[in-house]
Amino acid sequence: MNRHDLEHVHPPFPELGEVVELFLETRAREGVLLYEKDGELHQEPLTRVPGGLRARVAVHASPFRYAFRLPQGYLGSHGLEKTLPRYDRFFHLLAGPLPPPWALGAVYYQIFPDRFRRGRPGLAPKEGAWRLGGKPIRTKAWHEPPGPEGAHEFYGGDLWGILEALPYLEALGVEVLYLTPIFQSPSSHRYDTEDYLRVDPHLGGEEALQALYAALEARGMRLVLDGVFNHVGATHPWFQRALQDPESPERGMFTFYPDGTYASFWGVKSMPKLDYASPLVQERFVFGKEAPIRRWLRLAHGWRLDVAHSLGEGGTNRKNAHWLRALARAAKEAREEALVLGELSYDPTPTLRAHTLDGAMHYAGFAHPVMEWLSGRDVQGRAVALGAEEAWKALWDHYQALPLQLRPAMYTFVSSHDIPRALWRLRGDEARFKLAYALLFAFPGSPAIYYGDEVGLSQPNPHSLWRGDPYCRAPFPWDEGAWNREILSFVKRLVALKKRHPALRLGGLWPLKAPKGVLAFRRRYGGEEVWAFFAPQGARLRLPRGVDLLAGEEVGGEVEASHLLFQPLS
């Protein structure tokens, strides 16, 4: 068996020109390291060392692409192949700057600010205070479920409420808060920004953000903000000037067509798309001192870039990698240990291999295959027949294709503000929900809890085939009598295990033999090893002597389980 992973790259975050040591765990007694340089394929003989083969090589470019030639074939990100694989099937290593150490395997908690907690009820918008898309906004009572009006519905959650909830989040074990947009906007989701330099006063303004940031710093916790830099809201003064005056400097910030229409996000006219070919866009969003990606890092530790895959020039995503790289560089110039993640909703691999961002929301390589397997339906509600073997194949394929150092920084999840809640998709099946969260915390990456999942928050109308936005955005139930205590206790145990065990936080990933219908793998780091087994129908496993980490008790021999995190005893 041949194994190659992050644990065997030293140092893990090299600078350009630095020599790294690559180790391949294998029974092969000889081999060659192949790597691309200046269009040519170079080779370096592998040296036999205890446990495998090793080579030392300078990282001349980022990404640095390489594979291994062994007697039995070529080993790259798609496993052993008989012929030389394409470059996209090579392993990829990046040179710095890369994800800050604090972001590797960190535990996130995602909050939709309007729906999490009211700190100062007087800040909430008043019924009909303004119109959105021609309709007056609505205020709703905290106990009411969200309805089809979505962006028009305001519950009045604010940043002061999040500050009040920090003891709860700290007790849960959360390390990083990710907040959906907080800047002034006319909608409750706030993805239609009208002022990037003003924290929405209905959330408490900059005063509340400063207080929240200080409290997080005091607890050793961190804050990631949502950067909506692909488009602005149609009410933004820049777009209004561009719309009303074809001669205005702001006109070039957007892509207008000859018939007077303009490029927008997903065709939604309330979100006109920015054109990064415009020097004014470049100054206001990337290079300028007041660019939001720079300005707000005095009160935050990083960004999640909204629809990062769409950002670019001329109403398209042309030069997408260039501008994502520029935005990430701007953030790290403002704060050296800043994290910049992207919403790359489809395949994140080409973008991340282009040395752009520190990681991405792991839809394609985690959330979608896991929930399709466990729920029997895709994210749109269509029936999917996906078995454990097919689910593992998707997880393994994406994992192997990612640049090595970004694997532990990937934002992994099973619920979010844009897709249906996991418990709802699983038809309220708590056993499968716990299995999904156990898999989330066992898999490489930074696991994210979507607010309320940990207390059993679901959605209205559990018998409908599909309901995402806005039904996945219900208010957090602060009446503790409504909490599912068993789920909360289970999630707390998972958080504690992720933080306690280096193998779960930073370890590599390898397949593990298991009975049919069981998704199984093992994690290893620094001599520690954890085995993980997942079987929705339950399975009988034969194990050596070890510890059931979730139960905290020694087990061995024949074990019945639907999900198990197991640490073998040496």
Exposed, middle or buried, 138 (CB in 10 Å: 0-12/13-18/19+)? middle
Q: What is the DSSP letter of 549?
A: T
* Residue 14 CB contacts under 8 Å (≥ 6 apart), including other chains: 20, 59, 93, 95, 96
Q: Which of 306, 313, 358, 529 is flagged as catalytic?
A: 306
* Residue 329 CB contacts under 8 Å (≥ 6 apart), including other chains: none
| Long-range contacts, stretch 500-504, CB < 8 angstroms, 24+ apart | 501/528, 501/530, 501/549, 501/567, 502/526, 502/528, 503/528, 503/529, 503/530, 504/105, 504/441, 504/442, 504/530, 504/565
| Long-range contacts, stretch 232-235, CB < 8 angstroms, 24+ apart | 232/192, 232/193, 232/194, 232/271, 232/272, 232/274, 233/185, 233/186, 233/187, 233/191, 233/192, 233/193, 233/194, 233/270, 233/271, 234/192, 234/269, 234/270, 234/271, 234/272, 235/186, 235/192, 235/194
Quick one: tokens of 67? 């594979």
Range list of β-strands (E), 316-399: 339-342, 359-360
Q: How far is CA 137 from CA 9, 128, 141, 205, 368, in A?
A: 54, 5, 14, 20, 33
What is the rounded distance in angstroms from the CA atom of residue 133 to the CA atom of residue 151?
Answer: 10
Residue 343 among the catalytic residues: yes
Asked if 236 and 253 count as a contact pair (C-beta separation under 8 A), the reply is no
Coil, helix or strand at residue 331: helix
- Give helix 485-500 / helix 430-442 axis angle, nearest 10°: 10
Quick one: tokens of 4? 């190659």
Tell me which residue of 170, 171, 182 sits closest to 222, measured CA to CA: 170
Residue type, 461: N
What is the rounded distance in angstroms from the CA atom of residue 518 to the CA atom of residue 499?
Answer: 25
Residues 307, 313, 315: CA angle, nearest 5 degrees: 75
Quick one: tokens of 529? 């090893």
Tell me which residue of 99, 92, 95 sits closest to 400, measured CA to CA: 92
Residue 486 among the catalytic residues: no
For β-strands 339-342 and 302-305, DSSP reports them as: parallel
Asked if 166 and 219 count as a contact pair (C-beta separation under 8 A), the reply is yes
Q: Which of 343, 372, 454, 529 is flagged as catalytic?
A: 343
Q: Catalogue the active-site residues.
A: 306, 343
